[in-house]
Each structure stands twice: as C-alpha cells, then as structure tokens.
Chains A and B, each alone.
Chain A
Amino acid sequence: MIDTVKNAQENPDTKQPFLELGLKEDEYLKIKQILNRRPTSAELAMYSVMWSEHCSYKSSKVHLKQFGEKIVKSDVLMVGIGENAGVVDIGDGWVATFKVESHNHPSYIEPYQGAATGVGGIVRDILSMGARPIAVMDSLRFGPLSEPDTKRVLPGIVAGVGGYGNCLGLPNIGGETQFDPSYLGNPLVNALCVGVMKHEDIHLAKATGVGNKVILYGARTGGDGIGGVSVLASETFATTGQAKRPSVQVGDPFTEKLLIEATLEMFKNKLVEGIQDLGGAGISCATSELASNGTGGMNVALDLVPLRDETLSPEEILMSESQERMCAIVKPENIAAFMQICDKWEIIATVIGEVTDGNKLVITWHKEVIVEVPPRTVAHDGPVYNRALKRPINQDLLQKDSINISDKSNSLETDLLKLLASDGISDKSWITQQYDHFVRGNTIMSSPQDSGMIRIDEKTNRGLALSLDGNARFCKLDPYVGAQLAISEAYRNVSVTGAKPIALTNCLNFGSPEDPAVMWQFSETVKALADGAVSFSIPVTGGNVSFYNQTGEISILPTPVIGVLGVIEDVRKRIPLRYKENQTLYLLGETKKELDGSSWAWFIHNHLGGKPPQVNIENEKKLSKLIQTSLKAKVIFAAHDLSEGGLSVALTEMALASGIGLEVSNNTSVDDLSFLFSESSARAVVSIEEDKLPGFKELFKIYPGIEIGKTGGSSFKFIDHFEIELSKLKQSHSGTLSKVLV
C-alpha cells in the first residue's frame, strides 16, 4: 500500500525504518517536528538521502563556511561556492567552470562502472552550469601495487575512466596516481571536469516562474544505486557489509553525449529557466534543490517518470541514482521547442510537474499526495554537527620521528634507480595511454606534462591550464602544512607551463567524521585551504567532501586533492617539459634539507615521520611571476616543477621526455642527498638557450636561481657521483606498472 500524507496523519505511530536508512533518532524526530506529523515513507526516503553526510555536508558545514568568511580578493570570480560549480572569468568574454568530485565507494564495489559514472556525474555538473565540458582529469589512489586487490581495482577503474571519457569525446588531460597501504580497502577516484562558455550563458539551478513546467529528460529511471548515497557514502565499509549493497549504477556515455548536445542546444535557444543534473539522491535532490533555490513551490507527479523497471516503488524512484538524467524548468510556451530538441537527439523527455506559488514541494503518486514538504528543509536545512575534534596523541611522536640521514648507506645511484621504479614515482603511461588525450583537437598539453592545457579559442589561442595534486604523506605529518603544500604544488604546476593561476577547487577525502582525530585532520585542512586561498589570492570556487573512507578502524591518509585552474593568453607561448641539446639548466628556488615525508624516505626507507617541507606562498608567487614575465621574451625553453622525488626525479622525467641526457653538479649549499631528493617547495628546474641567458638572468630580480648544469649526451651525469645511461633510467622508470598489470 502507498503511504500517503493522509495515511501518515491517520496512522502516526507506524514504525519506520529510519535507522536502516541511515538517519539517527534525533534526526528522525526533527523531521517529525518540521512536518508536524510522521513522514510518509516517500518523505522519509527523501530526507534520509538528502540528510546523509554525502548530500548534506552535516559534519563538514561548520568548517566549510570559512570559505565564505575568508574573502579572497578576486576580480575573476563570477559565481562562488554553492552552485553546482563555481565560475571564473578567463578573459575575452569567456568564463570557465570546473569541479572535482569523488566516487570512491562505488569504485571499490564495481571498479569499471564506479569510475565511469564518477566521470559522468562531474560532466553533468559542469553541463548544468550552461558550459560545454571540454576536458576531464582524474586523481586516483590505490593500495600497494603488489596487493591482489589492487590488481582487481586498478585496471577496472582506469578502464572505466577511459571508457566513459573516450566514448563521450572528452580529452583526459592529466591527473595523478598514487599508492599507499591505507587505500587498499578504499581506493580514491576523484574526477575533474572543466567547461567553458560565454559570459551571458551562465545558468543557475533554480525553479522560478509560477506555471513553468518541470521536465525530466535523459535516461529512464531504474533501480540503480538505490540507497547508494545514504548507505554507501555515509557509513563505514565493513568487509562483510554486502547486505546493504545496492544495485550498481551503470553509465551510458553515448546517452550522456546526446544529453550534452541537447542541453547546450536548449541553452542556446534560451529554452530553460533553471536546470539541475541528477546525481546522488536523484529526483529527491533535483526537485528539492530546484524548488528551494527558486520561488519555493513545486508539484510533481511521480507516476509520470519514465521507468526502466515498472516494479519500482515511489520511494525507490525518488532515491534512484540512474545516470544520464537532467531536470529542467521550462516556460509553457517553450515546451514544444524543448521537446523538439529532445526528439532530435533521441532523448526521452517528460513533463512531470510544475512550479507553484506555494512554498511546498508536493509529490503525488497516481493523484495521491505522498510528499508534502517545505523543500528548503530537505535541501538546505539538514542537521549540522559540530563534531568533536582532537589532535591525535601520537602526532607529536610522529613529528619527532625525523629520518636519520647519516646511517643511510645506499649509493645515490642505487637510490635514484629504486625511487624511479617505485609505484608512486614510476611512469604512469600504462594508465594514461588508455585515455584519449586529443579528441576535440584542442589539447595543447597532457600527461606527463606538469599541467593539462587546452586551447579554448582557435582565433586568439587563449587557453586554460589545469593541475590536480595532493600529497597525503605530508598531510598525515601535518594536515595544515600538507594542504597548503598541495595548493602550492598545483599552483606551481600550472605556473611552470606559463599560465597564470586564477582559481582553485578541492576534493577532500577523509576517514570517519565520528573519529575526533580524523575531524582534527579535516578541520586543519579546511583552515589551511581557506587561509591559503587568501594568501595566494585565488578564490576557492567549489569543493567536495568524501568521509568514511576507511576499512574497519583504519582510516585512509588525510587526502585533500587540489585542482588549480590557470589562464594563458596565447598557448603558443607555453613552456613545455622537453629541452634540446646544449642548454643551461637552472634550479629556481632554495633547496633545503627537507627529506621528511619525502618519496625518498618512504619508498627507499619505508619511513614516514618528521615534519613536511615548509610552505612559502610568497616564494611560490614569485616563482610564478618569474615564469609569466619570461614569456614575453621567451627566455625559458623548458621547465619542470619539483615535487615528489625532488630534483633527481624532475631531471629524469625531463631527460626521458626529451630523449637527451644532462649533467649537473651540486652548486647549492645542501648535501648531495638533499640536493637530489629533498622536496623543498617553491622550486622548478628550467633550461635556457645560450643566447637567452642574459635576458634570463635579469629575472633573478624577481626570484633567485642557480646554474646546476647542461643538457646533452645520453646519460644522467651527476658530476663526481654517478653517470646513468638514459636507457637504464627508462628501464627502471617505465617497467613497474606494466610488469604487474597485464
């Protein structure tokens, strides 16, 4: 029997499965208080998904509000946090919107579909801002490569990211892949999408105008991921927790492609008043958010929703996470034109309701009212928790456990070869080769370059650069410093290509918010990001939080992943990774003895302790300014940022990419080990042509650099220490993934 509002009023004492749906007792009582009666089962379904951690941000809200309070002076921010994705001005009348989202838990259960639908979801987020999606990136984290489960999860996830993006016709322009034991039972899949549009085309998700129609279009609704949002993303994953497994969401990139083209055509013809993609929490989320962001009232006839499975109950339809669906608000006079476009693109579109002048979201099932709620209470006024946070007692011990360099007796050569072959540092071509980098024909740079770069205007050659970075080991040692180092790295990666960083987004992956130690890591991270954005003068345009990333009691390393977007006026002036023969190599920035938390400490000595390298935001900005200033006279030929593995890895990557050797000597004041492996921030290595040297040295007024060597030959020569042939470096660097993954 259908549980109508009338029934709920008449039978107030019916027992309801709120606990099973993930609601706490007091949350259930709050719903009763809001409605002044018990919720119907459909209302309970809506509240439970919308009040889940994943949708309501109930544990993170109190921290995230700093992004609104610590105002970044920015003249490019056009739409801030809160919409589907923030929007920034990128010049010449263009704006860009970009965002990262996690799809961690679904990707563990069904790697291919989990990752594929992660890409699909973030693409629809960008689309619903009115922008044409132009590129994707992905940040992946797995357990050690040697573990059997990594061999199950990694190939599926990579194939899913590639399969969906390639079929959709979006280039994958970069990202990162990391390995750590803490991700073994909980891999991370963070997908980024960037889109562009003209100023006048920005669209916001809201339902205004009484009498306007609510149209659901795209794929039919099936049983996909029911309870996925509330159960999966909001509760700890027990290894035995198979009972709650919802049916897996399956993506269909070809339908998504039609959805993109149809939606952009609707925007172009000004046929939509408001639009929202259907992601987690499906129709519950779309209707309540559209209604509460608009004038407030909406009627929806749920029985009109086209179904793939006729046996679905109204509760299931409300919670279904079937992919490739969108919801639009359309004026009655535009319906015919709207339907014509859907028809042209072979997309099912159905009028399922209309905007009303009340302040209630009313949903009916065969004319019986099953939901009657103030939409704001579903979408925005969920519970807010001020969770306990506590710096872990062993944090001090961890920070005191600095690595002792003197008793490390390996030769520098052995260390370098071992480091290059480690899963974290090794060549990721096995992964990136599965992605189409060049579809749409505007990709200027993609992996293994520091940033992805896309041309957005073929007449002016204006372009965008994007980087996605995070170093969870640094965050474990000091979450505040680690988060700012992540911004620093992404900022630097964008900068070294010649682009000017203008905006940042984030995806925060953490363990259980009910663990005070995790909550402490989270609060430090958010504080660091809000402060960092102010110091870097680049606004945070959006973000995503993923909690409950743990297996049993073991949380993942705190893993904030930072995306930075930059603008380059002319992509032809970009600075690549590859150098030519007979150029002079300079190291920009100061190298300190900072080996704690480094890749060298972890991969060579299995040591994680001490304090991460210092953050120096002013230096990062100076480095960025130096590179931008250099563009005019084109004095820098090639550049590479220094991060994981330090100078030795950066030089190896440049040499292998160029197919040309190099020789360097330690002209710094630090020891040879630190020279090669320290991960001090605000550094880059650049190569300069002979005739550009005077012009280049002028730039030292902005930021200092020292000469370290020359390019040429066929080996990596560290004078007085070692000489390794490039072929040997390549063997170490490129064999790791392909040896394990077939």
Chain B
Amino acid sequence: MGRVIVDVTLKSEILDPQGQAVLRALQSQGLKQVADVRQGKTFEITFEGAINKEVLDQVEALASEVLSNPVIENFVIRSYEKES
C-alpha cells in the first residue's frame, strides 16, 4: 500500500475568514504573539500497490481538478510513502 498526501490551502492573497477566526481565538486565549493563521485541508490518499510516476501524475491532475479550486486555492503534493 502506498500513500500520497495533498495539502490544499487558500492562495496567499485570498482572504481566509476561518483562519482569521482562529487567529482571534488564539489571541483571546492569551497568545498575543500569534500574528496570523491560515488554514487549509489535507487529503491522505491510499493506493493499492506502489506509488510510481504514473500514480503521482494522476494525483497531480486529481488535485488540480477535484481536490482544489484552482481559482482560489493552491495545492502541494507533500509526501508519499512507498509500498512498505
């Protein structure tokens, strides 16, 4: 089994109301030194069989077409685990 992790975050110039709400919550808890919070989501995709270039290409396509909204979000294929 192999696993690929895709992180999807809002582009840096896009307002992140949820991140702002978390920021205020952290500050109200006394963490005054927190300057900014941005949040996103993580997809862990597990494959049957090994992770090879073909699979990664598929994930790349999937990430830009399905997992993220390319108008407002970026994604990173963060790491993957080879078949153990």
B75 to chain A, nearest CB (A): 16
Measured CB to CB, the nearest residue on chain A to B71 is: A110
A616 to chain B, nearest CB (A): 47
Known contacts A254-B17, A323-B15, A248 near B71 by CB under 8 Å = yes
The answer to whether A252 and B69 have CB atoms under 8 Å apart is no
Contacts of B48 in A (CB 8 A): none
The answer to whether A346 and B14 have CB atoms under 8 Å apart is no
Give A248 to B71 CA distance when docked, in angstroms: 7
Known contacts A110-B71, A248-B71, A250-B72, A224 near B15 by CB under 8 Å = yes
Query: Out of B13, B16, B20, B72, which one reaches A223, CB within 8 Å?
Result: B13
Known contacts A248-B71, A248-B72, A222 near B13 by CB under 8 Å = yes
Contacts of B56 in A (CB 8 A): none
The answer to whether B12 and A110 have CB atoms under 8 Å apart is no
Give A247 to B72 CA distance when docked, in angstroms: 8
The answer to whether A110 and B72 have CB atoms under 8 Å apart is yes
Any A CB within 8 A of the CB of B41: no
The answer to whether B17 and A247 have CB atoms under 8 Å apart is no
A185 to chain B, nearest CB (A): 16
Q: Can you list, as one digit per residue, whether each of B63-77 has a CB less than 8 Å from chain A (1) or not (0)? A: 000000101100000
Any B CB within 8 A of the CB of A219: yes
Contacts of B21 in A (CB 8 A): 254
B interface, size bucket: 10 to 19
Known contacts A247-B11, A309-B12, A346-B24, A252 near B71 by CB under 8 Å = no
CB neighbors of B among A403-453 (8 A):
none
Measured CB to CB, the nearest residue on chain B to A253 is: B17
Any B CB within 8 A of the CB of A255: yes
Contacts of B17 in A (CB 8 A): 250-252, 254-255
CB neighbors of A among B5-31 (8 A):
10-17, 20-21, 24
Query: What total count of A-B pairs have CB within 8 Å?
Result: 40
The answer to whether A219 and B15 have CB atoms under 8 Å apart is yes
Contacts of B12 in A (CB 8 A): 309
Known contacts A109-B71, A110-B71, A248 near B20 by CB under 8 Å = no
Known contacts A109-B71, A110-B69, A252 near B15 by CB under 8 Å = yes
Any B CB within 8 A of the CB of A113: yes
Contacts of A109 in B (CB 8 A): 71
A254 to chain B, nearest CB (A): 7
Give A428 to B77 CA distance when docked, in angstroms: 40
Contacts of A110 in B (CB 8 A): 69, 71-72
Contacts of A323 in B (CB 8 A): 15
Give A219 to B20 CA distance when docked, in angstroms: 10
A163 to chain B, nearest CB (A): 11
Known contacts A252-B20, A254-B21, A346-B24, A308 near B15 by CB under 8 Å = yes
Q: Can you list, as one digit per residue, whether each of A122-164 has a CB less than 8 Å from chain B (1) or not (0)? A: 0000000000000000000000000000000000000000000
Could you pull out 26 A-B pairs where Cβ atoms are within 8 angstroms? A109-B71, A110-B69, A110-B71, A110-B72, A222-B14, A222-B15, A223-B13, A224-B15, A245-B71, A247-B11, A247-B14, A248-B71, A248-B72, A249-B15, A250-B10, A250-B14, A250-B17, A250-B72, A252-B17, A252-B20, A254-B17, A254-B21, A308-B15, A309-B12, A309-B13, A346-B24
5 extra interface residue pairs, beta carbon distance < 8 Å, beyond A219-B15, A252-B17: A110-B71, A222-B13, A224-B13, A247-B13, A309-B12
Name B's A-contacting residues (CB within 8 A): 10-17, 20-21, 24, 69, 71-72
Name A's B-contacting residues (CB within 8 A): 109-110, 113, 219, 222-224, 245, 247-252, 254-255, 308-309, 322-323, 346
Which 5 pairs across A and B sit closest by C-beta, in order of nearness?
A252-B17, A223-B13, A250-B15, A247-B13, A110-B71
